[in-house]
Amino acid sequence: MSKMLGLFVGLLLLGLAASVKFDELFQPGWAMDHFIHEGELLKLKLDNYSGAGFGSKSKYMFGKVAIQLKLVEGDSAGTVTAFYMSSDGPTHNEFDFEFLGNTSGEPYSVQTNVYVNGVGNREQRLNLWFDPTKDFHTYSIFWNQRQVVFEVDGTPIRVHTNLEHKGIPFPKDQAMGVYSSIWNADDWATQGGRVKTDWSHAPFFVTYKDFQIDACECPVPVTSTASANKCNSSEDKKYWWDEPTLSELNLHQSHQLMWVRANHMVYDYCTDTARFPVTPAECVHHRHN
């Protein structure tokens, strides 16, 4: 009994938020008339009047957020569906999934980006190895003091490593909200903006289910110091994301990431010498970017 009580108290100390129901974790951000609830499913609609988006009710620091998506079917050129975490303000931190629509028959691509202290320009793009419009797939972001990992169905597609010892800033001092939206971005999203949204195919729908947040919830407003103290492990409390085994990818995950990069990556800012004549500092030191 005492062990069970200790476990219960330990779970209370973690301050985690975990759920699969939209209304418990999120609230509409804009265009509420473009939200469609069908049982456990949520659909967001994009038409030539508006897109739609939602955000988490709380902010979080460290842990894992995941969402299951079925992306826009058919000719989705010009549309973008985003799933991301972000803090507030001009020096915000941000982790992005952006799913870029395509013309029918072309592969669906996903672009990831990392902002640190308000600076982004760290885009990577890959073609998914499945059709994300035919079934639900899980997209997740894992974040601790050592790394940020983007995953698709449990397979890591990108790692952003803490290289503070090399003088490179790492996002670990700002609590983030969790967001998703669909909007028209035909000025850049498909073939660099050459293919525009065909509104004769509207409305466009993205479908969601199984919203999960297993992370350290931070009251709003709260200082970065208070968040760090609350969400870092100590002698009194242990968080699962601070386990030593999660400080870097294991061997299997490293092989998965190498497979993704070798077979599916189509753009990496680290190798774009036109944009970056001088290789970005983190690219020099990262084993996995």
| Residues recognised as catalytic | 94, 98
Cis geometry, peptide bond prior to residue 221 (ω within 30 degrees of 0):
yes
Burial category of 35 from C-beta neighbours within 10 Å (exposed 0-12, middle 13-18, buried 19 and up): middle
Burial category of 181 from C-beta neighbours within 10 Å (exposed 0-12, middle 13-18, buried 19 and up): buried
Going edge to edge, which strands form the sheet with 109-115?
26-30, 52-56, 177-184, 79-86, 94-100, 109-115, 124-127, 265-268
Specify the 3-state DSSP secondary structure of 174: coil
Strands 155-161 and 177-184, by their bridges, are: unpaired
Which of 67, 139, 69, 78 lies closest to 106, judged by CA? 78
Partners of residue 9 on adjacent β-strands: none
Rounded distance between C-alpha atoms, residue 86 and residue 118, angstroms: 10
Query: Any idea what DSSP says for residue 107?
Result: P
Q: Would the CA dihedral through 266, 270, 273, 275 be positive or negative? A: positive
